[in-house]
Amino acid sequence: MDHGGHGMTTDLPPFTLGRGLEFTGEPFFLVGCLLALVLYGGAVVRLRRRGDAWPVARTVAWVLGVLAVAVAMCTALNEYGMLLFSVHMVQHMIISMLAPILLLLGAPVTLTLRALPSAGRGRKGPRELLVALLHSRVLRVLTHPGFTIPLFIASLYALYFTPIFDFLMRSTAGHLAMMGHFLLVGLVFFWPIMGVDPGPHRPGYLMRMLELFAGMPFHAFFGIALMMATEPMIATYANPPASLQVTALSDQTAAGGIAWAFSEIPSVLVLLALVFQWHRSEEREARRRDRMADRDGDKELAEYNAYLASLQARQQ
């Protein structure tokens, strides 16, 4: 028996973690994940063959990000997510928040720029086109906080609390398109905040933290709204199959709790990454100043000491 016309069977057994993580191999995301691993790995091999190093930590982050997408979309979580709001919310949180952070820590844009060959003077190849895109006005708008934060928020409220969600969930294609949208929105939102790859907007570390915390509370508010509701709010999940042994309201409450709790985890990960980047930046600046002092005999310190001496002379 189908559920909502999207071809998903409604006689699934009650959800358990073991059943949810069974590999199903959803073709669209499986091909995308394999392609992402192959292209990234090929670029790393290209760098190393010509003697250039690439941080292992970035490769690990990229692989973990791809695996996060695969776990959310290429396992039975995808089937249960069509029938249970709580499982769908797990997918949403992984796809829109955890996976983008890990993928961005892999610095794919930096890797691509280093791996692609230069087309030569006066010519435009893939590398030159990518550089032009990174400096384009369109990308400047798309990565501006005035666009990314409202988009991040609208992906929750304008989707779940309107008929758009139920319309997309009527078909497998609509469901996959929605998950692809979540992944894209997460990448766009976190890209300028993470600051690992080059981009149009690179605000200071404090401003990045403010951008992060400007968007995160809305996930918590969304989760609380679901938890406090006294009746099902999403038509797609209003009548869960009897075989799952859950009620619509308890499933919705669980979904709200997941949205509320999960929003804290990525915030902590990003905050730790920003603090680490800030610390590394300060260390690089300190080393730069030391090298400059070695070259000019610490001219800046001598000028400052002379200034203090002049002030003392005036007071006498």
pLDDT of residue 295: 62
Which residue is listed with tokens 């404090």? 206
pLDDT at 302: 56
Burial profile 192-203: b = 16 or more Cβ within 10 angstroms, e = fewer: bbbbbbebbbee
Q: Give the alpha-carbon dihedral of 44, 130, 34, 78, to 10 degrees.
A: 140
pLDDT at 1: 38
Please, what sign has the CA dihedral across residues 55, 60, 63, 65? negative
Place of tokens 């509701």: 229
Helix (H) / strand (E) containing 291:
helix 264-296
The pLDDT value recorded for residue 202 is 72
The pLDDT score that the predictor gives to residue 80 is 96
Q: Which tokens belong to 40?
A: 């990234």
pLDDT at 5: 44
The owner of tokens 């369109």 is 138
What confidence score (pLDDT) does residue 64 get?
A: 97
**pLDDT averaged over 10-residue windows placed end to end, the chain, 316 residues:** 48 92 94 97 94 94 97 96 96 93 94 87 82 88 88 88 92 93 93 83 76 79 90 92 94 93 75 73 62 58 57 61
The confidence score (pLDDT) of residue 164 equals 93
